[in-house]
Amino acid sequence: MEREIMLTGIGGQGVQLAAQVLGRGAAFESRDVIYLGTYGGVMRGGNTDSTVILGDGPISSPPIVSATWGALAMHHQFWKPVHERLRPGGPVALNAGVFEGPLDRDAHDVIEIAALKLAAEAGNAMGASLVLLAALCGATGLVGLEALIAGMRDSVPSYRQQHLETNEAALRAGWAAAPEGCAQAWKDA
């Protein structure tokens, strides 16, 4: 079984870090992983997207997918291409208070999290993408919290080690905010 997750936002929102954390966290749980990050040519403010494919065995999907099981949207500006690939019934984690894009809420498990607020309360104003990622994973069982934390610790470069504790706090805040009743990612969950 494979689960494709597309993450989208504006450069500087942490989409690429969240995708790395998801991929490494899944690897810690012995899942197969493919990760593809793409971003525009500007340092801040341009599009940033990632696709992470997780599998309970060898992955057959190419890194550029035509359809996705779930999505994480930090902002609506670059949402349209992701929205067009979203399969009905899949989970969608939205950055509440920021995201204003179109979405058929009856066709998806929508997880709306005030990620900016929770990140700030966790002492990490820059950690909203980690909050939203943990909420998505907590709601669906996609990856466990301890694996996400381990994945984050492996993803943060040595010159940013001062952020490890607040990144962990952001992940824990998102996990605690995850709603119940969403479609589960794995049959064994």
pLDDT of residue 189: 56
Which of the residues in the chain have pLDDT under 50?
none
Question: Do the Cβ atoms of 98 and 74 come closer than 8 Å?
Answer: yes
**Which pLDDT belongs to residue 165?**
97
Predicted local distance difference test score (pLDDT) of residue 13: 87
d(CA 132, CA 115): 6
Span 2-177 CATH architecture: 3-Layer(aba) Sandwich (3.40)
HEC secondary structure over the chain: CEEEEEEEEECCCCHHHHHHHHHHHHHHCCCEEEEEEEECCCCCCCEEEEEEEEECCCCCCCCCCCCECEEEECCCCCCHHHHCCECCCCEEEEECCCCCCCCCCCCCEEEEECHHHHHHHCCCCCCHHHHHHHHHHHHHCCCCHHHHHHHHHHHCCHHHHHHHHHHHHHHHHHHHHCCCCCCCCCCCC
- pLDDT digits over 20-55, tens only? 999 999 999 999 999 999 887 776 778 899 999 999
* Tokens representing residue 83 in the block: 């929205």
Please give the single-letter amino acid code of residue 149.
I
pLDDT of residue 43: 67
The per-residue pLDDT for 95 is 97
CA 55 to chain centre: 16
Tell me the domain boundaries of the chain: 2-177
Q: What angle do CA 36, 37, 38 make, to 5 degrees?
A: 125
